[in-house]
Amino acid sequence: MTDNQLAALVNGNHRAQGHADRNAARHPVETLEFFGLRPDMTVLELLPALGWYTEILAPYLQEHGRLYVSHFSPNGIEPYMPKVLEMFEERLVAEPEVFAKTIVRHINPPQEVDIAPPGKIDLALVFRNVHNWIWAGQVDEYFSALFKALKPGGILGIEQHRAKPGTSLEQMNKSHYITEDRVKEIAASAGFLFDASSEINANPKDSTDHPKGAWSLPPFLQSGEEDKYRAIGESDRMTLRFVKPA
């Protein structure tokens, strides 16, 4: 049964301009329900960019739950990192009716990895970020931080651009698409148990072979030919659920 509160929030007037337009491609209600979200949970969202999912999670958890968001550090190694953090935090301050109870922390491995109270998180969420961690050579640090934050029996939900089986690491780094097997291997190395997968965010129109990889597709459209890539839609994505052993 669909959570009516969640369904209302994904189309709410509080959402940033254009964000709700992506609902049809990203299936937020179905995705969050697959991950097991409940309004009384303590949830961690890791690296939310400008808050596409945060603006759904914050009001949903406001009354009975708790939301931690671990964002870029002001000391981030890439110039865009503190800028995106500043934009995100400015929005939180400007919209206290939505974000007043959101707790913001920073991550910048290996110096800053205290992303939430250890062992207190019921559900940790990662949306299209694993490719960046692999590229930066920091994927083990990120998954270790997630494992530490989750309580025994806690859930890790991952949505990620999906590469074809057998794709090389070099091509994964170029395209931002990662194979399911690679994500499962990384999670297992951190101590997680694979629990289930869903095709909620699959896109059979996506060949994954584009000049700018996943960035060729909406919403980025970095390769031009907008009509061509809009017709494909957003990237083919895996939706995976892992559990920290009890």
CA distance between the termini of the chain: 27
CA–CA dist 199, 201 (Å, integer): 5
Average pLDDT over residues 6-34: 96
Residue 187 has pLDDT above 60, yes or no: yes
Q: What is the structure's pLDDT at 3?
A: 82
Q: What is the structure's pLDDT at 2?
A: 62
What CATH number does the domain containing 130 carry?
3.40.50.150
3-state secondary structure of 196: strand
Residue 20 has pLDDT above 70, yes or no: yes
DSSP H/E element including 194: strand 193-198
Q: What is the pTM of this model?
A: 0.96
Nearest to 39 by CA among 24, 61, 21, 66: 61
Residue 214 has pLDDT above 70, yes or no: yes
Phi-psi region of 27 (alpha: psi -120 to 50; beta: other; left: phi over 0): left
Residue 29 has pLDDT above 70, yes or no: yes
Q: What is the structure's pLDDT at 1?
A: 52
Share of the chain above pLDDT 90, in %: 96
Q: What is the structure's pLDDT at 245?
A: 98
Tokens 């009384």 — which residue? Answer: 40
Q: What is the structure's pLDDT at 78?
A: 86
Full residue range of the structural domain in which residue 208 is found: 4-243
Contact 123, 36 (CB under 8 A): yes
Q: What is the structure's pLDDT at 72?
A: 96
For strands 42-46 and 193-198, give the pairing: unpaired
What average pLDDT does the chain have? 96
For the segment 163-185, what is each residue's pLDDT rounded down to a tens digit? Answer: 999 999 999 999 999 999 999 99
For the segment 82-121, what is each residue's pLDDT rounded down to a tens digit? Answer: 999 999 999 999 999 999 999 999 999 999 999 999 999 9
| Structural domains counted in the chain | 1
Q: What is the structure's pLDDT at 77?
A: 82
3-state secondary structure of 35: helix
